[in-house]
């Protein structure tokens, strides 16, 4: 049973080829970390799976069906936009906006929809947070509401785009553990994009590393290696393992994952 | 006060417009598009003065121009960078054209003041019916798009992924805003539309973070501003539009102050103590 199957997929954005001839298969129930430098196509891949970007060539199948926009089987957490940080709207209303949000009419939530929202909030332990306005919440608390929103509608596949951004290590670990536990409990397939591999090491089934329009999918010790990453980055990469942590270094000695993270801010 | 027909008409017109402005304004503030609403009223000025020049009713020119302007801004799309500059240019260009039209239409000083600052005491029965018709159209459209509008306003990327057309919602909403602007300018004039469309909504969002309570509160505050302003104008003989702006400003700043005090007292202090972000 495959959750996501890409067959020789090429995606271009604004004239630039982001992914070229990528083939991969992700099994149902897998927790896959999506890594790679900025601009390597982590968000674009998710948008292609959602049907928001049409591949220039190749086919993508999601849960054994052709990609289509608006699939209820996919839960999605986009990256946090700055505008959202100032939204003076109650957490509950924010999370609930996704429930049947594409239908016309007044947004009265049916009892079933309200129950679904409560269930999602319960999964991330955010029933109390949902009473506060989004603008009052801290980064970690807001992240939990966003994950709850992705869980509304009982999806089978979760696409989480950079859920760790701007969180300190302690809260990063809390988010990862929570997503892993929810994923196991509900047998969800999870794609979790991040800048750094280390916080994810304990949770991952496999890693999908993107770079130089190519992709490598496999276990951490198969993919996070000098030769594989050198091919993706198109330059000499050294991988150093130290005390259970992994450091990805360019030949000139820069720690690439930390560099990438800092450039983002 | 209600012994006079013009006061009854003014209260009816103020009530209709306040309900529209309060409800539509809430979503305008939620989406951070208040500047677009302000610009639309100036587009309306060119429309109203142009209509007068051609011998048409000002309200027709005003509503027609704001509607075109709203659809135009909507079609520009959400992500156009430098959007504020473009809107600002349209705004001044419209005022410029309005000035030109007034220049050609020579006996115009009162007419110009009425368009710029409103003339709610001069609303006739026919205008009242037009205002009511526009209001029904406006709120009816809002009722149809409300659900995807809230979704697209709060989480545009996710809404798009779930099949909402951001552009369609954006255009439809700004068309609704354009009608609300045309309505509001009948009461407070094109220059003061902000006071009814944005003031009550912004105050409501300071007071509550609940969505529907916020919409209801915004409508109530707009009614308070409009009817309160009319009453004060009747007894003081000062301009109605002045009193409406004064009440709207007072309520907004009081709500803002109350929010700052409230958040300073609880919430913040305990949250800062946590090692977050």
- Taking alpha carbons only, the member of A74, A78, A58, A50 closest to residue A17 is A58
**Confidence tier at B134 by pLDDT (50, 70, 90):** very high
Nearest to B162 among A98, A168, A171 (CB): A98
Q: Find the CB nearest B157 among A78, A138, A139.
A: A78
A74 part of contact set with chain B, CB < 8 Å: yes
| Residues of chain B found within 8 Å of residue A97, distances taken between Cβ atoms | 150-151, 154-155
For chain A, what are the domain ranges? 84-154
Q: What is the pLDDT of residues B221-232, one digit of tens each?
A: 999 999 999 999
The closest CB to that of B163, out of A69, A89, A90, belongs to A69
- Please tell me which residue, A145 or B91, carries the higher pLDDT value: A145
Measured in angstroms, the CA of A131 and the nearest CA of chain B are apart by 9
In sequence order, what are the residues at sequence separation of 6 or more whose Cβ sits closer than 8 angstroms to the Cβ of residue B134? B20, B63, B179, B182, B183
d(C-alpha A146, C-alpha B48), whole Å: 46
Closest partner CB to B276 (pick from A107, A140, A150): A140
Chain A environment of B154 (Cβ under 8 Å): 84, 87, 89, 94, 97
pLDDT of residue B86: 78
At residue A1, the pLDDT reads 79
Q: How far is C-alpha A104 from the geometric centre of its chain's CA atoms?
A: 29
Residue B9's pLDDT is 94
Q: Which residue of A has its CA nearest to B268?
A: A136
Predicted local confidence at residue A263, as pLDDT: 47
Q: What is the pTM of this model?
A: 0.91
Mutation target to probe the B interface, by most B beta carbons within 10 A, among A47, A101, A155 is A101
First to last CA, chain B: 58
pLDDT value at residue B191? 87
Q: Which residues of B touch A138 (CB under 8 A)?
A: 271, 274, 276-277
Q: Which H or E run includes B201?
A: helix B199-207
- In the numeric block, the tokens 């290590």 are attached to A169
Q: B273 pLDDT exceeds 70?
A: no
| Predicted confidence (pLDDT) per residue in A215-264, tens digit | 999 999 999 999 999 999 888 888 989 888 998 888 776 777 765 555 44
Q: Does residue B142 lie within any of the structural domains?
A: yes
Binding-face residues of B in 124-183 toward A, CB within 8 A: 143-148, 150-151, 154-164
**Which of A36-50, B76-90, B112-126 comes out lowest in average pLDDT?**
B76-90
In chain B, which residues have their Cβ closer than 8 Å to the Cβ of A117? none
- The verdict on B206 touching A (C-beta cutoff 8 Å) is yes
Beta bridge partners of residue A210, listed in sequence order:
A215
Residue contact B148–A168, C-beta within 8 A: no
Question: How high is the pLDDT of residue A261?
Answer: 52
Judged by a CB distance cut-off of 8 A, whether residue A2 touches chain B is: no
Smallest CA-to-CA distance from A229 within A205, A204, A246 is with: A246
ipTM: 0.91
Contact residues on chain A for B277, CB-CB shorter than 8 A: 138-140, 166-168
A34-63: per-residue pLDDT in tens? 999 888 999 999 999 999 999 999 999 999
Q: Which DSSP symbol is given to A255? A: B
Q: Domain for residue B29, yes or no?
A: yes
Q: What is the pLDDT of residue A80?
A: 77
Question: What pLDDT digit, counting tens, does each position of A180-222 carry?
Answer: 999 999 999 999 999 989 999 989 999 999 998 999 999 999 9
Of B30, B147, B206, the CB nearest to A106: B147
User: Which CATH number do you get for residue B117?
Assistant: 1.10.3470.10
Q: Which of A26-40, A77-91, A108-122 has the lowest mean pLDDT?
A: A77-91
A93 CB near a chain B CB, below 8 Å? yes
d(CA B9, CA B126): 10
DSSP string, B206-258: HH---HHHHHHHHHHHHHHHHHHHHHHHHHH-S-HHHHHHHHHHHHHHHHHHH
Q: Supply the pLDDT for residue A264.
A: 44
To the nearest whole Å, the CA of A218 is away from the closest chain B CA by 28
Q: Residue A76: its chain B contacts at CB < 8 A?
A: 157-158, 161
- Residues of A with CB below 8 A from B205's CB? 88
> What pLDDT does B269 receive?
42
pLDDT of residue B106 exceeding 80, the answer is no
Q: Total structural domains in chain B? A: 1
| Chain B residues touching A74 at Cβ < 8 A | 161
Burial class of residue B158 (count of CB atoms within 10 Å of its CB; 0-12, 13-18, 19+)? buried
Q: How far is A246 from chain B (nearest CA, A)?
A: 24
Mean pLDDT of chain A: 91
Reported as half-sphere exposure (CB side, CA atoms, 13 A), residue B220 has a value of 10
Given a contact cutoff of 8 angstroms between Cβ atoms, the answer to whether B146 and B155 are in contact is: no
CA pair distance B93, A66, nearest whole angstrom: 49
Interface mutation target, options B144, B151, B209, B218, chain A, most CBs of A under 10 Å:
B209
Q: Is residue B21 part of a domain?
A: yes
What pLDDT score does B215 carry? 97
Name every chain A residue with its beta carbon within 8 A of the beta carbon of B211. 89-90, 93, 107
When pLDDT is averaged across residues B29-53 and rounded to a whole number, the result is 89
Residue B277 lies in a domain: no
Q: Identify the pLDDT of residue A163.
A: 94
Q: What is the residue range of B260's domain?
A: 5-272
Model confidence at B277: pLDDT above 70: no
B262 touching chain A per CB within 8 A: no
Q: Comparing A87-96, A234-243, B75-84, which segment has the lowest mean pLDDT?
A: B75-84
Q: What is the pLDDT of residue B122?
A: 86
| CA dist A50 → A46, B20, B92 (Å) | 6, 37, 42
- What CA–CA distance (Å, rounded) separates B233 from B134? 26
Q: Alpha-carbon distance B277 to B275, whole Å? A: 7
Residues of A in contact with B160 (CB under 8 A): 52
């Amino acid at each position: 049973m495959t959750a996501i199957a890409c067959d020789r997929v090429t995606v271009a954005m604004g004239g630039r080829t982001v992914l070229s001839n990528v083939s991969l298969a992700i099994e149902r129930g897998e927790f896959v970390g999506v890594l790679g430098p900025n601009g390597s196509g982590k968000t674009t891949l998710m948008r292609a799976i959602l049907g928001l970007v049409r591949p220039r060539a190749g086919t993508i199948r999601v849960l054994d069906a052709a990609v289509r926009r608006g699939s209820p089987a996919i839960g999605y957490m986009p990256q946090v936009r700055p505008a959202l940080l100032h939204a003076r709207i109650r957490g509950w209303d924010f999370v609930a906006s996704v429930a049947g949000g594409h239908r016309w009419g007044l947004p009265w939530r049916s009892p079933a929809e309200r129950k679904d929202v409560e269930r999602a909030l319960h999964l991330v332990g955010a029933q109390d947070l949902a009473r506060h306005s989004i603008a009052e919440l801290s980064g970690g608390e807001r992240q939990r509401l966003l994950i709850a929103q992705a869980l509304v509608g009982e999806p089978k596949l979760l696409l989480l785009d950079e859920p760790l951004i701007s969180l300190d290590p302690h809260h990063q670990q809390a988010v990862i553990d929570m997503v892993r536990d929810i994923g196991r409990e509900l047998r969800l397939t999870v794609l979790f994009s991040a800048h750094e591999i280390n916080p994810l090491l304990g949770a991952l089934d496999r890693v999908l590393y993107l770079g130089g329009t190519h992709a490598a999918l496999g276990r951490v010790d198969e993919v996070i290696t000098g030769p594989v990453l050198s091919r993706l980055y198109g330059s000499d990469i050294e991988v150093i393992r130290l005390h259970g942590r992994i450091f990805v270094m360019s030949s000139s000695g820069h720690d690439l994952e930390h560099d990438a993270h800092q450039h983002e801010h | 006060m209600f012994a006079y027909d013009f006061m009854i008409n003014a209260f009816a017109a103020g009530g209709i417009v306040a309900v529209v402005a309060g409800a539509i304004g809430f979503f305008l503030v939620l989406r951070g598009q208040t500047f677009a609403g302000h610009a639309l009223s100036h587009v309306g000025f060119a429309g109203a003065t142009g209509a007068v020049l051609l011998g048409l009713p000002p309200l027709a020119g005003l509503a027609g121009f704001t509607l075109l302007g709203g659809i135009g801004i909507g079609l520009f799309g959400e992500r156009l960078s430098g959007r504020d500059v473009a809107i600002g240019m349209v705004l001044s260009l419209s005022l410029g054209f309005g000035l030109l039209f007034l220049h050609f239409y020579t006996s115009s000083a009162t007419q110009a003041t009425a368009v710029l600052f409103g003339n709610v005491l001069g609303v006739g029965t026919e205008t009242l019916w037009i205002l009511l018709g526009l209001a029904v159209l406006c709120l009816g459209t809002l009722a149809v798009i409300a659900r995807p509008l809230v979704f697209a306003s709060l989480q545009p990327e996710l809404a798009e992924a779930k099949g909402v057309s951001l552009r369609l919602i954006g255009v439809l909403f700004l068309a609704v805003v354009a009608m609300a602007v045309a309505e509001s300018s009948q009461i407070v004039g094109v220059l003061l539309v902000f006071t009814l469309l944005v003031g009550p909504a912004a105050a409501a969002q300071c007071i509550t973070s609940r969505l529907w309570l916020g919409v209801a509160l915004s409508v109530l505050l707009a009614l308070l501003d409009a009817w309160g302003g009319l009453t004060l104008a009747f007894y003081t003989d000062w301009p109605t539009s002045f009193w409406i702006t004064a009440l709207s400003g007072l309520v907004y700043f009081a709500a803002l102050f109350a929010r700052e005090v409230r958040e300073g007292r609880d919430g913040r202090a305990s949250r800062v103590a946590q090692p977050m972000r």
